[in-house]
């Protein structure tokens, strides 16, 4: 382990430069215009794996974006850890809010990152974090201290719902065979308060379309007599929550797991400063379901949010128009034991029932995924806890996260193994937002911690 840590210290600068190069590729999976760049990023990741010394590396085509697979077997009798990550990124817009171009990484100091942070789309989610694994592997391998077999599965469609990953997993069960899955695509509470993610919310993502008259109308000639689909959509959306901040879809909460008081107490004991949370977001008041704290509302309780809404005239100046259509993209975050498809059906039925006869409604599913909860008494968790304690000097706290990585539940189902969510980002790193960044402290802390984890896990597993 000493050689590994020395190797990391010696090659710090190169590791960073290599990451910056990967961040310059605009691998935006949602936008077909960037298909070539997504492929380029896959090939770059594959090259890095090869250069790190991974024995078998392949860029596997799918009907969507490719999956980078790597496998390195030291000894078949040793345990195998499968690292999952994603090299695709969210679209960078709104562009005008970026202080530096999203695909031209720069390093700047911030309050939370006094040692500097890398500003670029994908720096934290997830190129920076997946790259920690590539570099940790390189350091271990080149120092002759790799304690176990390591596989990599780095996909390019996470940000658009991992459409082709499930099929790939089912078709490659043997190749993907492993003892556990390790993912760094989540956050820690604070650089001084390490934590391990023990839960992810599920997701139902859909789109609604409300149609009124068969064409845009003059809002003076027709206004007041014909239902305006934008007005109607606004009313329908407003009706999805009640005054207590609860979602009004009948049956929505039926399957929601009731979390034990003791667990809720432990959750709320975690350091969390609501004032600075509000200040960071420039909001004067928080909002949410009555009877739950902010930490609970973003982890053990479901949520419904409009992600985008459009209709009518949104160009410069004014145009008097009564639009024909209004649309919205809506997501629901799910918790155990809610089912994504069941929730979609409930939503559709309810939403349709909210529509007056003056409009027609179409509800179309996008993607979804199941929630996931990981145990804190498993050998895998204990290894992660020990590893973080070595490098942070403090025992990490378990914390459920509000985000989703839908494929995690599927891994358990198909590959029948446990997952450890050992992420190193901060919630304030602005993932999916303009000016996304990843702390240098966090990047290097990840590279240092992963070898400790692999060692401890291999030890515990061998016993």
In 3D space, the residue among 448, 408, 334, 443 whose CA is nearest the CA of residue 86 turns out to be 408
Residue 37 within binding range of Mn ion, rule CB under 5 A: no
Q: Does the annotation mark 88 as catalytic?
A: yes
Half-sphere exposure of 305 (CA within 13 A, CB side): 12
Q: How many CB atoms lie within 10 A of CB 180?
A: 21
Q: Which stretch binds Mn ion (CB under 5 A): 46-54, 66-74, 91-99, 122-130?
A: 122-130
Q: Which stretch binds ligand BES (CB under 6 A): 226-234, 249-257, 401-409, 455-463?
A: 401-409
The three-point CA angle 170-174-176 to 5° equals 75
Residue 126 within binding range of Mn ion, rule CB under 5 A: yes
Distance linking the first and last C-alpha atoms of the chain = 20
Please identify which of the residues 158, 185, 436, 448 carries the catalytic annotation.
158
436 binds, among ligand BES, Mn ion, none (CB under 5 to 8 A by kind): none
Find tokens 């090939």 and name the residue.
43
Please identify which of the residues 37, 88, 380, 429 carries the catalytic annotation.
88
Residue 125 within binding range of Mn ion, rule CB under 5 A: yes
> Whose Cβ is closer to ligand BES: residue 133's or residue 455's?
133
Q: Does the annotation mark 158 as catalytic?
A: yes
> Whose Cβ is closer to Mn ion: residue 15's or residue 438's?
438
> Whose Cβ is closer to ligand BES: residue 197's or residue 458's?
197
Gap between the Cα atoms of 134 and 132, Å rounded: 6
Tally the residues of the chain.
Answer: 463
Q: Which of 18, 185, 380, 429 binds Mn ion (CB under 5 A)?
A: 185
Positions in 102-161 near ligand BES (CB under 6 A): 125-126, 158-159, 161
> Whose Cβ is closer to ligand BES: residue 200's or residue 259's?
200
- Please state the closest distance from residue 200 (CB atom) to ligand BES, in A: 6
Residue 29 within binding range of ligand BES, rule CB under 6 A: no
> Whose Cβ is closer to ligand BES: residue 311's or residue 403's?
403
Residue 302 within binding range of ligand BES, rule CB under 6 A: no
Q: Do 130 and 154 meet the contact criterion of CB atoms below 8 Å apart?
A: yes
Residues that bind ligand BES (CB under 6 A): 125-126, 158-159, 161, 185-187, 200, 203, 367, 401, 403-406
- Residues marked as catalytic: 88, 158
Which residues are near Mn ion by CB under 5 A? 125-126, 185
């Amino acid at each position: 382990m000493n050689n590994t840590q020395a190797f990391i210290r010696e090659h710090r600068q190169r590791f960073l430069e290599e990451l910056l190069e990967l961040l310059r590729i605009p691998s935006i999976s949602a936008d077909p215009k960037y298909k070539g760049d997504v492929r380029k990023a896959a090939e770059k990741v594959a090259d890095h794996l090869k250069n790190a010394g991974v024995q078998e590396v392949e860029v596997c085509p799918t009907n969507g974006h490719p999956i980078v697979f790597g496998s390195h077997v030291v000894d078949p009798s040793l345990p195998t850890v499968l690292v999952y990550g994603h090299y695709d990124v969210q679209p960078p817009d709104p562009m005008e809010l970026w202080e530096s171009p999203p695909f031209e990484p720069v390093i700047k100091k911030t309050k939370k990152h006094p040692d500097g942070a890398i500003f670029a789309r994908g720096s934290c989610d997830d190129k920076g974090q997946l790259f920690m694994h590539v570099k940790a592997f390189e350091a271990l391998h080149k120092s002759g201290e790799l304690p176990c077999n390591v596989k990599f599965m780095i996909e390019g469609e996470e940000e658009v719902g991992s459409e082709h990953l499930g099929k790939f997993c089912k078709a490659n069960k043997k190749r993907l065979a492993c003892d556990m899955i390790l993912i760094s695509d989540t956050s820690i509470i604070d650089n001084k308060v390490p934590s391990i993610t023990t839960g992810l919310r599920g997701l139902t993502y859909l789109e609604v379309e409300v149609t009124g008259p068969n064409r845009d109308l003059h809002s003076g000639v027709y206004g007041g007599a014909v239902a305006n689909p934008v007005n109607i959509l606004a009313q329908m959306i407003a009706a999805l929550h009640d005054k207590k901040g609860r979602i009004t879809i009948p049956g929505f909460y039926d399957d929601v797991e009731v979390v034990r008081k003791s667990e809720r107490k432990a959750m709320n004991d975690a350091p969390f400063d609501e004032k600075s949370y509000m200040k960071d977001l420039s909001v004067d008041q928080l909002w949410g379901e009555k009877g739950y704290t902010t930490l609970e509302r973003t982890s053990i309780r479901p949520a419904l949010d409009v992600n985008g809404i459009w209709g009518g005239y949104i160009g410069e100046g004014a145009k008097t128009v009564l639009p024909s259509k209004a649309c919205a993209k809506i997501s629901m975050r799910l918790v155990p034991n809610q089912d994504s498809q069941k929730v979609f059906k409930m939503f559709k039925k309810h939403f349709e029932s909210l529509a007056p006869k003056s409009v027609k409604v179409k509800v179309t599913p996008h993607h979804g995924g199941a929630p996931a909860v990981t145990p804190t008494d498993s050998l895998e968790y204990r290894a992660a806890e020990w590893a973080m304690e070595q490098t942070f000097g403090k025992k990490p706290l378990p914390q459920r996260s509000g985000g989703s990585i839908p494929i995690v539940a599927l891994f358990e189902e198909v590959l029948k193994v446990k997952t450890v969510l050992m992420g190193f980002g901060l919630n304030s790193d602005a993932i999916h937002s303009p000016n996304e960044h990843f702390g240098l402290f966090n990047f290097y802390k990840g590279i240092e911690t992963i070898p400790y984890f692999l060692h401890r896990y291999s030890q515990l597993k061998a016993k």
